[in-house]
Amino acid sequence: MYLGESHIGTRTRVDFLMQEFESELDEIVKLHRYVIMAAARDFNREYDLLLSKNAHEDSAYDGGDAIWDAEQILGINPWNVEHHLGLLSLSRAVSLAEIVLARLAATCWERPELTVFPNGKTWPRGWEHAFYKTCLKNPIDLNKGGLRTLRALRDLYVHGYGVPVKEEQQHKLAAALNREFGAEPATSEEAAHGYNGVASFFGEHARFDPKDGLHDDMYFGLPQANVTPLATYRALRRIGDSVSEAARAVVTGPLDDASSSKFIRIVVTWWEKNGGIPEEA
């Protein structure tokens, strides 16, 4: 059973959605960069002032004391800012991507409330994957390209505060992140934007080995998710690439006979189990 005649929304509509998305994603990138740089700048300034002042008065006063005192004055240190802001930024960007992927798909249907927003809610993740992989003339697999792995990282942070329940779970996620993103040093473009250091999703001291798994010489037990600034920037850009690819696929429109796609079969089965397809209001 076919859920309404498919049609592609105008290119103007898709372009508008992408302009909104790109603007919002760029804001996330800039906010992350600004807060990271401002936190380090303010902390270093306070540290230098404390060390300069107190070292003259107390010969035992050293850098460790200055770090402690600066943190008490500012209420935070730049390392904790990096730890949490990277995960917060990725969580926001992944959620943004999910709603935009749904809104893009909605342009393909006369009644998106049946196929994309059932009962006023955003479609399940399985529907999203089936739509983009089986329903379009130019299909794509959203499980590839890093988005699926970043979703898993977001879920780990949101539901577990970045702490995996099992070691196996963490090593599996670390392996996927390493496979998708690697740990290459900053490119000239990234360095020009102020990014350097280590590209890691589990802190700058973590290292991943395909044979031995994930280890952190500075941390006992399972390392928490802790996305460094360089890794955050790369992941945010990858999210943008995935959504852009989806937009290009949507512009081509659904298959001429989309009613035979796996997506439509899933949707029809769901409505049959939930009282049948409602009449158009």
pLDDT at 221: 67
User: What is the chain's percent helix, strand, coil content, to nearest 5?
Assistant: 65, 5, 30
Query: At 279, which amino acid appears?
Result: E
Count of other CB atoms within 10 angstroms of residue 273: 8
pLDDT higher than threshold 60 for residue 3: no
Q: 160 falls in which pLDDT band (50, 70, 90)?
A: confident
Task: Supply φ then ψ for residue 178, to 5 degrees.
Answer: -65, -40
- The DSSP secondary-structure symbol of 226 reads B
Residue pLDDT, tens place only, 193-241: 999 999 999 888 888 888 777 878 776 667 788 999 999 999 999 999 9
- Return contacts of 125-128, CB within 8 angstroms, 24+ apart: 126/266, 127/263, 127/266, 127/267, 128/98, 128/101, 128/102
More confident residue, 147 or 57: 147
Tokens coding 210: 């395909």
Rounded-to-integer distance, Cα 236 and Cα 115, Å: 28
Residues 252, 137: contact at Cβ < 8 Å? yes
